[in-house]
A and B are shown apart, each in its own frame.
Chain A
Amino acid sequence: MLVPIFTLKLNHKINPRMVTVGKFDGVHPCLTAATQAGKVFIHNPHARGQKPVAHRLSQSTQDSDISLLNINQAVTCLTAGTLGPNTTGDTLLVGSQTNLLAYDVHDNADIFYREVTDGANAIVLGKLGDIPNPLAIIGGNCALQGFDFEGNDHFWTVTGDNVRSLVLCDFTGDGKNELLVGSEDFDIRVFKEDELVSEMTENETVTSLCHMHDSRFGYALANGTVGVYDRTARYWRIKSKNHAMSIHAFDLNADGVVELITGWSNGKIDARSDRTGEVIFKDNFSSSVAGVVEGDYRLDGQNQLICTSIEGEVRGYLPASKDLKGNLMDSSAEQDLIRELSQRRQNLLLELRNYEENAKGVSETNSGMGVIPANTQLQTALSVRPATEAQKAHVELSISTPNETIIRAVLIFAEGIFEGESHVVHPSAQNLSGCVRVPIVPPKDIPVDLHIKAFVGGKTSTQFHVFEITRQLPRFSMYDITVDSSAAPPTGRVTFSINDRPQRVAMWLNQNFLLPEGVDSPDITMNSLRGGGLLSISMASSGQITLTTDDIDLAGDLVQSLASFMAIEDLSAEADFPGYFEELRTTLTEVDEFHSVHQKLTAAMADHSNYIRNMLVQAEDARLMGEMTTMKKRYRELYDLNRDLVNEYKIRSNNHNALLACLKSVNQAIQRAGRLRVGKPKSQVISACRDAIKSNNVNALFRIMRAGAASS
């Protein structure tokens, strides 16, 4: 069994996911992690007591191996690595909600300190695509930004939602790194520089990504799922009731292939085979794991796997030695094999017994056994139900038995459409019948597999037959065909041309919408049951398709879905969404306002801090002079001023949050405009929009969004 080769208790809390190892002097690896109170600690057991105390750095009084770095802001992410071309050691990069700091620990100096309005939720350091210098790429609110060693911003693009995880890996296999971005809208996106090449949809916020080898990478979701992808195909995944805090690739059993190491919120560490997900090693911490990294911490030329817990416990593991034969767990493989085979035998025997007993027929009429006619088959049907007074609009799944048997309960396991992973319908004893109707309201337009388990039996049964059926809910299921002419026609529209027959478009409609009977022409008008108004699709004989809807997101989804169905690589489009564009225009003016308020408030704050300094001096003077009344007066004033400052701070933070929300919606607008196009035109629109925003040219921005980049 594998045991840790070193264990440290650092006495400092560690913020989850903010752990790294850096060789800041180029030789000695130092465990670096963010801790409470806006500090970063650097554990350097190799060079004791040589650090001068100055600038940001201070020696911890508790432990001589640890130096503390004052950031004075809540740290949101950090990493270390080679950034500059001629530096001896690694650079430490620390991101917060408003700034990015690049810091040279060895020389104790800032390399650059940049304001990043979109915040830095995740950071990764390395080479991207054809950009010559390594970049520190941060992911914030819907935006990605890459800085070189001088702090120049060389890379910028937008993505669908707030970024939660980043990793660089050669996804396409062209020898250059692509950027993988996991975000809060459950998507993993792959960027080849600023061009989006792939998109994988998961069912929860993607909290961690890590590169395994070649084009293979691991991922973790906020609902406790961990898995491995090879390019766009998922190899395996597992789900736990705990949350994966950190994932890392490391070859723990020394077989030449890395394993996926996961640190869990309940303190468990496990290593899983990259091919099957089988656990080959596990260990337990007493508290949640904070981060999993690797480094040559003993300076003996061999990298160790270093696991840290949020309470500051650190354990290092060496890859298994040869004589363990890859068997890292504390059990005998032979015994396990025999046990597993016996278990399988037992299962088969039981199954066989079931068939035998069944063939014998029911000797006694035991009503509890749940005897049903052998030809019972469940019928399922999906249909769209518009809103009525009693119920909201929904998709109805009706499940019924053909005979007098009843359905005791229905379990539906599906991802992303229920609050948890399952939905249960359990009628009370008086309401049992052979038919169950399940209302489903998918919150997003995604295709979903519904794994239905229905318990079928008699009214007084205690044992039921379980019918397992899988039905697919099409992507656009919340749309109902209507010819309700009274509603105002939508003002927004997208127009583009394709080189394909109308029948193909009709086919796409039939596959992606829940239409009661199929359609054969691509001209259709529908009502969005989520309250988005009308949606109509029409196709001219020239191949020009017009989508009219007021919902720009829906238009984007439709364009993307249609393009992937028709296998279109590049598609440019013209669009106009007057309502949405008007909103965006207001938001842009608001951004300006918030900016100016922000500046004013910052100035006011500087004034106040000057006052405080003065008043404090005066008050202390008065105390020394023994003039108690003046001192009291001064302190009272100071107290008032302090209260004002606190209030001002609240205003400032409100203002800041509002600003962030606005910036996010601007970023989203660019992303949405991009989604109306496919391939090259898409990245062109995004970069053109970015330029327009940089140059503060609002009219140009709207022109690009309407016409696409080509015509500007």
Chain B
Amino acid sequence: MEINLNRVDYIQVGVTSQKTMRLLPALGKKATQKVAVADHDGILTCFGMKKGEAVPVFKTLPGQKIARMDLGGAAGTPQEKIFVCSGSQVRGFTKKGKQFLTFEANLTESINAMHVSGADLFVCASYIYNHYCDCKDQNYYLSGDKINDIICLSSENGTCLVPVLACQDRVLRVLQGSELAYDIEVPGPPSVLELYDKDGGEELICGTTDGNIGLVQIGECSAATKWEIDNDKKKGGILCIDTYDIMGDGVNDILVGRDDGTVEVYGFDSANEPTLRFEHVLSESVTSIQGGCVGKESYDEVLTATYTGWVTGLTTEPQKAEAGPGDEVRMSKEIQSKVEALRAELEQLQVKVKQGREQYQQTSQSSTAVSAVPVFSINDKFTLCQDDASYNLTLEVQTAIDNLLLQSDVPIDLLDVDKNSAVVSFSECDSEQPNGNFLLATYRCQANTTRLELKVRSIEGQYGTLQAYITPRLQPKTCQVRQYQIKPLSLHQRTHSIDQERPMNRLSLVGQFSFAEIHSWVVFCLPEVPEKTPAGESITFYFHNTFLGTQLEATYCKGEGHFKSDNISTISILSDVLSKEATKKKINLNNSYDINDESVSHTLKMIHPKLEYQLLLARKVQLIDALKELQVHEGNADFLIPEYRNILDESANLLEEYKKQPAHLERLYGMITDLFIDKFKFKGQNVKTKVSSLLEILDNYDLNSLLDFFNEA
């Protein structure tokens, strides 16, 4: 069962945040709904569609950036009051645009997530959760990591609300009053929560920044995952979810918007498993998604808002092109008038802009005037991709990007991304020390590129900063720099637990340092650690290496730190960096090691299947061309041994696989070499001279001879 939805653009507002567009409830049956959308200029716009034209109901004055929007109203009445939060303030508007509430939450940080239910207001600002009832403080909770979203379930009797927080450390926290009831582990950092059934129930849908969706049933003291949709196709992270019966089959479908512009509709098959029914790609992040009826009566649609403020509908209404030939030439009257209005507006604007430009030029004659161009908004994301152990950098700007300069003071590889059409050019880096550049690359973008995707591969142990200078096509021309830390253990990712059975190496630190100090060092070394010093006396974090699958346990408190890993290189890097950081603060560290020789062979055995697979793949790929030639020469492949015939049959898949992981083998070799050097470093031997014989062994790889070499050398 497939559906066909056609795209219609309604209006454009300013840059929007996640979940800032909602549909107001319909007044009568089958009437069109009004849309409320809020943007970074602080403007809340409410509009409805009349004869294909957006007619504003009201528009507020500009102000501080609006981060979230929610609808509310007294229980039992239509939820048509609009609540928006900007800074630490929450404001309420009626559907006519009358402001009836201004509430100052008195938080030091700005609110980034909000939920309204009857007289209850729930707000979250980075680590803090606050619950107000009738604007009176009720409950308070401090989370261990950043809170991305909040939703409330109403318990069975409907009297008590159960708030659920989506926290950056891959956990959903279910609260009871001011206390944590229990937490739920999810596979990736959750970014959005939505109720599965808007009328209540205990099920909620959770989307993660790495693109997974799951349905979780929240029970009294535990939760169960009903289903999950994996992100096999490497689409973007989830930004918004809604449930709506767009297919018209009586079951609510799931509407999903992602940060790479993908809009998806999932329906349910006979086995009640979610299946993809529709997909459409907009060119920019989809920040809000809603199902309803906006453009024309009795035609349902999926309404989306994107980062640059486009409100776009994907409607079930058939497009005119299909009505019949001949209609297309003459633009419909509505559109014609729309175009004319736009053109007129453009002309006026151009005059204004010209004046502005002249004035700006004039100021350049004055010796006292300054030129200060307002900061433009950039939506950026720098995340570790688990599957190929590389970083994805996405940059999104409100207007077209002209060029991008990437600069790094640490050796990294820039990989080609198919989606990215910009022309890349690498500039020579003067290796002389003063400038210390390891990478200088420019991306010259094609017209109308508002979103850029890059892939960067780092090497563990080498750390520094990656800087991106973004210049949009906007006069007067400015560029903005964004910095991204490449951490020493850049390929590690937080996980919930580790396998304690593996042979482990230990590093213990003792010294005169505070809990906050050692926490800041750990933040410096490892990704995905909250910057705030955790509450309590001590803390334990678990990590796993996305490339090798090795693990790390970090436990520390005031004056003491213990790190356990089955990978000796991880321990070596940690010890180097931590000592260096401590020396910077003039703190004397007492390092002690407990090296388990078993761990090296264990790690090598873990690498073995990967290495063997890669070697085999490389060999097969090498043979493909020759075999194909033989096949052409002989006319068929029947004379070949089955193994070769198999390679020929599989050739397309093999090549695909090979293309997906460039330099995989070299990376594995590099890590084995590190392992080798580090093993003997802890024994106080320098074995750099033997690396060439190690590489020789790797060239004729055999696990046993490699193990022997590690043991003998």
Q: Which residues of A contact B (CB under 8 A)?
A: 12-13, 35-37, 39, 60-62, 68, 224, 239-241, 266, 323, 325, 327, 332, 334-335, 337-339, 341-359, 361-362, 368-377, 408-409, 411, 413, 418-428, 430-431, 453, 455, 462-468
- Nearest-neighbour CB distance to chain A for B698, whole angstroms, equals 30
Knowing A357-B374, A373-B371, A424-B407, the reply to whether A335 touches B7 (Cβ < 8 A) is yes
A444: min CB distance to chain B, Å: 18
Report whether A338 and B9 are in contact in the complex, using a CB–CB cutoff of 8 Å: yes
Q: Are A37 and B342 in contact (CB under 8 A)?
A: no
Could you tell me the dominant secondary structure of chain A's interface residues? mixed
A426 pairs with B440, CB closer than 8 A: yes
Whether a CB of chain A sits under 8 angstroms from the CB of B356 is: yes
Q: A424-B440, A426-B435 given as contacts; is B346 within 8 A of A463 (CB)?
A: no
Contacts known (A37-B633, A61-B636); A355 close to B372, Cβ less than 8 A: no
Q: Is B221 part of the binding interface, using a Cβ–Cβ cutoff of 8 Å?
A: no
Q: Which of B63-71, B140-148, B362-370 contacts A (4 or more CB under 8 A)?
A: B362-370
State in angstroms the CA–CA spacing of A371 and B368 once bound together: 12
Please tell me which one of the listed residues A325, A350, A368, A426 contacts residue B398 in the complex, with CB atoms under 8 A apart.
A350
Q: Which residues of B contact A338 (CB under 8 A)?
A: 9, 335, 338-339, 342
Contact stretch, chosen from B19-27, B75-83, B419-427, B521-529: B419-427
How long is the Cα–Cα vector from A373 to B367 in the complex, in angstroms? 7
Number of interface residues of B (CB under 8 A): 88
Contact segment of B115-123, B162-170, B455-463, B473-481: B473-481
- Whole-angstrom distance between the Cβ of A244 and the nearest chain B Cβ: 13
* Chain B residues positioned under 8 Å from A359 (CB to CB): 356, 359
Residues on B with beta carbons closer than 8 Å to the beta carbon of A374:
363-364, 366, 369-371
**Do the beta carbons of A350 and B399 come within 8 Å of each other?**
yes
Q: Which 4 A-B pairs have the closest CB atoms?
A: A61-B635, A420-B425, A355-B356, A466-B477
Is the Cβ of B342 less than 8 Å from the Cβ of A334? no
* In the complex, B484 has a CB within 8 A of chain A: no
Cα of A352 to Cα of B349 in the assembled complex, Å:
8
A408 to B482, CA, bound (A): 13
- Nearest CB to that of B334 among chain A residues? A334
Q: Which residue of A lies closest to B435 (CB)?
A: A428
Contact between chains at B359 and A355 (CB < 8 Å):
yes
How far does the alpha carbon of A377 sit from the alpha carbon of B371 in the complex, in Å?
12
> Are the C-beta atoms of A421 and B474 separated by less than 8 Å?
no
Q: How far is the CA of A37 from the CA of B628 in the complex (A)?
A: 10
Q: Is the CB of A371 within 8 A of B444?
A: no
In the assembled complex, the CB of B295 is this many whole angstroms from the nearest CB of chain A, namely: 13
Known: A419-B428, A464-B478. A325 touches B328 (CB 8 A): yes
B-chain residues with CB within 8 Å of residue A463 when the two chains form the complex: 373, 375-376, 478-481
Question: B635, A421: Cβ atoms under 8 Å?
Answer: no
> Chain B 1-13 against A: per-residue CB contact (8 Å), 1 yes, 0 no?
0000001110010
Q: Does B156 contact A (CB under 8 A)?
A: no
Q: Is the CB of A411 within 8 A of B633?
A: no
A–B Cβ pairs within 8 angstroms, 23 of them: A13-B628, A36-B628, A62-B635, A241-B420, A325-B328, A335-B9, A337-B339, A341-B343, A342-B9, A347-B473, A347-B474, A350-B474, A357-B374, A358-B363, A374-B369, A374-B370, A375-B367, A420-B425, A427-B434, A428-B409, A455-B479, A462-B375, A465-B477
- Closest chain A residue to B13, Cβ basis: A346
Q: With the chains together, A413 CA to B423 CA distance in Å?
A: 12
Rounded to whole Å, the gap between the CB of B240 and the closest CB of chain A is: 22
Residues of B within 8 A of A427 (CB): 434-435
Measured between C-beta atoms, what is the minimum distance from B409 to chain A in Å? 8
Residue numbers in B under 8 Å from A465 (CB-CB): 371, 373, 476-478
Do the beta carbons of A354 and B373 come within 8 Å of each other?
yes
Which chain A residues border B437 with CB–CB below 8 Å? 426, 428
Q: Given A351-B356, A428-B436, check contact A240 B423 (CB 8 Å).
A: yes
Whole-angstrom distance between the Cβ of A333 and the nearest chain B Cβ: 8
Q: B407 contacts A351, CB within 8 Å?
A: no
From B371, B434, B625, B635, give the contact of A372 (CB < 8 A). Answer: B371
Bound CA span A107–B373, Å: 76
A1 to B: closest C-beta gap in Å: 10
Give CA–CA (A60, B339) in the complex, Å.
59
- Smallest Cβ distance from A237 to chain B, in angstroms? 12
For A323, the chain B residues whose CB sits under 8 A away are 325
Contacts of A346 in B (CB 8 A): 12, 308-309, 398-399
B 324-344 to A, binary, CB cutoff 8 A, 1 in contact else 0: 010011011001001100110
Q: How far is the CB of A460 from chain B (nearest CB, A)?
A: 11
B471 touches A453 (CB 8 A): yes
B7 adjacent to A420 (CB under 8 Å): no
In the complex formed, the residue of B with least CB distance to A36 is B629
B440 touches A352 (CB 8 A): no
Cα A422 to Cα B424 in complex, Å, equals 9
In the complex, the answer to whether A453 meets B427 with C-beta atoms within 8 Å is no
Q: Mark B401-439, 1 if CB is under 8 A from A, else 0.
A: 001010101000000101011111111100000111100
Residue of A421, A428, A466 near B479 (CB, 8 A) is A466
Known interface pairs A36-B629, A334-B332; 5 further A-B residue pairs with C-beta atoms within 8 A, sorted by A's residue number:
A339-B9, A351-B356, A361-B372, A376-B364, A462-B481
> When the two chains form the complex, which single residue of A348, A361, A373 contacts B353, counting CB atoms closer than 8 Å?
A348
Give bound CA distance, A348 to B355, whole Å.
12
Chain B residues with CB under 8 A of A418: 425, 427-428
Q: Is the CB of A62 within 8 A of B636?
A: yes
- Complex Cα–Cα for A409 and B437 (A): 12
Within 8 A of A (CB), among B548-589: none
Please indicate the chain A residues that have their CB under 8 angstroms from the CB of B426 in the complex: 419-420
Candidates B8, B346, B373, B632; contact of A341 at CB < 8 Å: B346
- Segment 647-701 of B: residues with Cβ below 8 Å from A: none
> Shortest beta-carbon distance, A356 to chain B, in Å?
7
Q: Report if B469 contacts A (CB, 8 A).
A: yes
Chain B residue numbers with a CB within 8 Å of A428 are: 409, 434-437
A421 touching B423 in the complex, CB below 8 Å, given contacts A339-B9, A355-B356, A426-B440:
yes
The answer to whether B641 has its CB under 8 Å from any CB of chain A is no
Distance A71 CA – B387 CA, assembled complex (angstroms): 46
Residues from chain B with Cβ under 8 Å of A266 in the complex: 418
Which of A325, A422, A426 touches B329 (beta carbons < 8 Å)?
Answer: A325
A413 and B424 CA atoms in complex are apart in Å by 12
How far is it, in angstroms, between the C-alpha of A39 and the C-alpha of B633 when the chains are bound? 9
Query: What are the interface flags for B475-494 relative to A under an 8 Å C-beta threshold, 1 for contact and 0 otherwise?
Result: 11111111000000000000
- Chain B 464-517 residues near chain A, CB threshold 8 A: 469, 471, 473-482
Q: Judging by beta carbons under 8 Å apart, are B371 and A241 in contact? A: no
B433: min CB distance to chain A, Å: 9
B352 sits at the interface (CB 8 A): yes
CA distance A524 to B638 in the complex (A): 76
Contact of A420 among B346, B349, B427 (CB under 8 A): B427
> What is the minimal beta-carbon distance from A325 to any residue of chain B, in angstroms?
6
- Residue in contact with B364 in the complex, picked from A240, A368, A375, A431, CB distance below 8 Å: A375
CB of B474 to closest CB in A, whole Å: 6
A374 to B359, CA, bound (A): 11
Report the separation of the CA atoms of residues A658 and B349 in the bound assembly, to the nearest whole angstrom: 68
> What residues on B are CB-neighbors of A241 within 8 Å?
416, 420-424
Q: Is the CB of A375 within 8 A of B375?
A: no
**A421-B444, A465-B478 given; A411·B373 CB < 8 A:** no
Is B373 touching A357 in the complex (CB atoms < 8 A)? yes
On chain B, the residues within 8 Å of A39 by CB distance are: 632
- Most B CB contacts (10 A, CB to CB) among A224, A342, A358 go to A358
> Which residues of A lie under 8 Å from residue B478 when comparing CB positions?
370, 463-466
Q: Is the CB of B370 within 8 A of A373?
A: yes
* A282 to B351 Cα, complex, angstroms: 37
Check A362–B372 contact: CB distance below 8 A.
Answer: yes
Query: A121 to nearest B CB, angstroms?
Result: 23
Contact call A341/B339, Cβ cutoff below 8 A: yes
- B657 to chain A minimum Cβ distance, whole angstroms, is 15
What is the CA–CA distance of A60 and B398 in the complex, to the nearest angstrom? 57
Known A347-B399, A375-B364, A411-B403; contact A368-B479, beta-carbon cutoff 8 A: no
Q: Which of A60, A327, A344, A362 contacts B346 (CB 8 A)?
A: A344
